Amino acid sequence: MLLRFFSVLFLLLLNQQLFAAAKPIPKVPEIAASSFILMDFKSGKILAEKDPDKKVEPASITKLMTAYLVDKALEAGDISLTDEVTISEKAWRMKGSKMFVEVGKQVSVEKLIEGMIIQSGNDATVALAEHVAGTEKAFAEYMNHQAKLLGMDNSQFKNSTGWPHKEHYSTARDIAILSQAIIRDYPESYRLYSVKEYTFNEIRQFNRNRLLWRDSSVDGLKTGHTEAAGYCLASSAEKDNMRLISVVLGTKSDKARTRNSQTLLNYGFRFYESNRLYKAKETLKTAKVWFGEQDQVSLGVQRDVFVTIARGRYKELDASVEIDPEITAPVAFGQELGRLVVKLDDVVIVSQPLVAMQAINDGGLVKKAMDSIKMLFE
């Protein structure tokens, strides 16, 4: 009887340990949308998705690419915020959401950016495209070039606004990649995406992203709607040093896109955590160098290493480094000399190059001779 008792107790404890180790994450909530994706901003890990590579009309979410290219033009010095842009008849005649600029009048780039992002003004967007590239058609070529550079492999742009066109399309994944680039590359400009209202020409208009009023952690990004695209929303929120990006496309109403986006964000924050394991350019390991002016080289990673995992599993991570067995000078700065590998449950979740943190020059004939002798013994 006693043996049976301890046997049962052992099985119960074993089951508890197995259950604790598994820590299952609930299934992704049902989302009534044609496609969606939920991404961790820092690690890029996809936490939830449905047809993320389905090509659909992105509607006014297109303006995210226009805004990104305007920021690049500002950064390069090709344009400035104080530039006065003369509003063309084409920009003035744009239908849909408008900033209500007047044909022939001059409006600063800064005000046009505000009108494009906060009010989703098609007129402001075309005016900016023309100012950057001369024509909207030429600007669309810039958009497609930039999409390739960002890895947006399933996007094609025909205009700056998202105005319906059968050959104008993107995907939930590509929009998440673009949103990540906007937040990462232009954090100062990104602040504008959380502004709730804007007044121009004495006309007060409100940001169409209703999540800005519902959830204080939400600070962007962009809504979109056409009859073909349905109601769409690219959103981002930050809690407890974790930022998520949600893209929901093709819902049936404004309320649906808001509700579904909130559901995805809540799911990500509730069941996942994001951690920085290592800082960029921080020495993680030193390695022996043969035939060089120095005998050791510092190894590190070129960018911060983040992992996104189920909540409560941080201590279960297993990190290791794999260093090239024989490193010889010369060694260039940034040269790959090994790999950093992070596992969870024996599954690789991070694999990044370990690179030289400094250059090591050739040590000369004497050093080579001495090291050659040492190598015979080592």
Tokens 């955590």, residue located: 273
Residue 34 one-letter amino acid: S
Rounded to the nearest 10 degrees, what angle do helices 136-150 and 172-185 cross at? 90
The helix/strand count (H/E) of the chain reads as 11, 16
Cα separation, 128 vs 80, whole angstroms: 11
Burial letters 343-378, b for 16+ CB under 10 A, else e: ebeeeebbebebbbbebbeebeeebeeebeeeeeee
Minimal CA–CA distance to 124: which of 90, 95, 101, 143? 101
Please provide the size of the chain in residues: 378
| Amino acid of residue 122 | N
Bridge partners (DSSP) of residue 236 are: 220, 245
136-166 in b/e burial notation, b at 16+ Cβ within 10 A? beebbebbeebbeebebebbebbbbbbbeee
Asked about 160 being catalytic, the answer comes back as no
Q: Of the residues 43, 60, 97, 189, which is catalytic?
A: 60
- At 82, list the tokens: 């104080």
CA dihedral 72, 74, 79, 84 (to 10 degrees): 120
CA distance 267 to 37: 12
Identify the residue whose tokens are 């009309």. Answer: 57
Q: Decide if 7 is catalytic.
A: no
Residue 137 designated active-site: no
The catalytic position among 120, 160, 179, 261 is: 120
CA angle in degrees (0–180, nearest 5) for 237-259-205: 75
Among 42, 45, 63, 222, the active-site one is 63
* φ, ψ for residue 223, nearest 5 deg: -95, 170
Catalytic residues: 60, 63, 120
